[in-house]
Amino acid sequence: MSNFTEVVKVAKIDELKNGTMRVVSAAGRQILLARVGDKYYAVDNLCPHMKENLSQGKLEGTVVTCPLHGSQFDISNGQVVRWLKGGLMSRIGSALKLSKDLTAYNVKVEDGKVLVEF
């Protein structure tokens, strides 16, 4: 079994302003790349609920909100903050453990480039 890590350049540091995000393609995946302060984060771009494009959602600090049903994820670690936007379905989903975290990827900044490890 190989421990090889693929490192892919996804942006230059000046291409993202603080508090912004965008979708990038890398290693055959759609990745949500975001900048919060001087830190960069990379997670799966598609919401695990109904595959909505998270880059079209709202970013507040390190929390991204899905534009379709309001699920929220912490982009610093991929964990669910809120599954769906309240109501009965949210309670059922939480009770049945239907919520799913996003995959979070390691991000490095070197020589003015944003690199994601896969």
Which domains are delineated in the chain? 7-117 (2.102.10.10)
Which position has the token pair 């309001």?
70
**Cα–Cα dist 56/34, whole Å:** 12
| Pair 71, 49: CB distance under 8 Å | yes
pLDDT at 15: 96
**Cα–Cα dist 33/20, whole Å:** 9
pLDDT at 90: 54
For the chain of 118 residues, list the mean pLDDT of each consecutive stretch of 10.
78 96 95 98 96 97 96 97 73 64 97 97
pTM of the predicted protein model: 0.87
